[in-house]
Amino acid sequence: MNPFLAACRREATPFTPVWLMRQAGRYLPEYRRIREQFSFLELCRRSDVAAEVTVSTVQRLGVDAAIIFADILLPLIPMGLELSYEKGGGPRIARTVRSREDVARLNIVDVRDSLGYVAQTVEAVHAALAGRVPVIGFAGAPFTVASYAIEGGGSRNYVATKTLMREQPRTWDAFMSALVSVTAEYLNMQIDSGADVVQLFDSWVGCLSPEDYRRFVQPYMRRLIADLRTGTPVIHFGTMTGTLLEAMRDAGGDVIGLDWRVELDDAWARLGDEVGVQGNLDPVLLFSSIGEIKAAVRDVLKRAGGRPGHIFNLGHGVLPHTPVDNVLALIEMVHEFSAA
């Protein structure tokens, strides 16, 4: 079995598989040249170009998995929320969700019709790689997607989100239930189109306390993961989740993604042997010297201890301006050191 897929199933591998979140991004000159021709959302919708970006990045880096080029907020577009990306900035939502009436106005989504271009990207990547490299499909987890829709963009304190979920629990339930339904259909479409693994990005869930996670997020994540195609490994990822790991494990997923704020061995001991782990190098370390990167890679691998179920990754995405040579060196180091 392919090493990445084997690791997702906690099976022994000849080396530690590695891929990188945001491995196709602005740090690559090839990507920047393509972005000169297309806006971010245009690139997501152009399945031929999105597939080219995905495949060429895998070939350039030599990673062990291809994650499709898309965006976690794409399902909000057919739901009727006006998504845009400011040049050099983050996403903006023109029609925020702040009330029961706002939820009631959301469109009923035909995923295949409205997001079929993502399925076409998956199909094209799957065909181009011909099984040599597994394909990762992905979606934003309901809490993170909801927080963008409620706040109107990114946030530091998530005041509107936390207020809504506490003060309007029925509205929260209706919105999260709608997102669960759309996200399950969206991921299953990707699986049916050739995705070998799917990852749920709960990038901002670390802003919650453990009790709030168990009350306002965990039931929806359980429902979502239970609705995914049986047999497809699920990677469950979040940032700043050191206090939430056990609750995330209990919500579901074959692999729990770790950021750099936890030590991998301690986190895995807390999670137990029934799940794999992914991570967890600090992305900023890739701006350091080769010697520093080498020491950090060795430390992560030492903490993993060669146990089946470890997938090497950063603790979040590759940052803009990251030296490409350092990324290439990192991937070579992971393969070399873990095979020794």
Return the structure tokens found at 337.
Answer: 């050191």
Annotated catalytic residue 26: yes
Told to judge if 71 belongs to the known catalytic residues of this protein, a careful annotator would answer yes
**Of 54, 62, 6, 15, which Cα lies nearest the Cα of 31?**
54
147 touches 155 (CB < 8 A): yes
Six-digit token string for 53 = 């970006």
Contact by Cβ (8 Å): 68, 45 = no
DSSP H helix total and E strand total for the chain? 16, 9
132 tagged catalytic: no
C-beta separation of 146 from 164 below 8 A? no
250 is catalytic: no
Q: 88 — alpha (psi -120 to 50), left (phi > 0) or beta? A: left
The single residue of 22, 100, 215, 261 carrying the catalytic annotation is 22
3-state SS, residue 234 = strand
Among residues 9, 35, 222, 249, which one is catalytic? 35
Q: Which of 27, 46, 64, 71 is catalytic?
A: 71
Q: How is residue 279 written in tokens?
A: 């991570």
Query: Residue 304: is it exposed, middle or buried by C-beta count within 10 angstroms (0-12/13-18/19+)?
Result: buried
Which among 27, 31, 148, 158 is annotated as catalytic? Answer: 148
Which of the residues 26, 214, 223, 249 is marked catalytic? 26
- Residue 195 CB-density burial (10 A; 0-12 exposed, 13-18 middle, 19+ buried): buried
Structure tokens at 85: 């990306």
**Catalytically active residues, by annotation:** 22, 26, 35, 71, 148
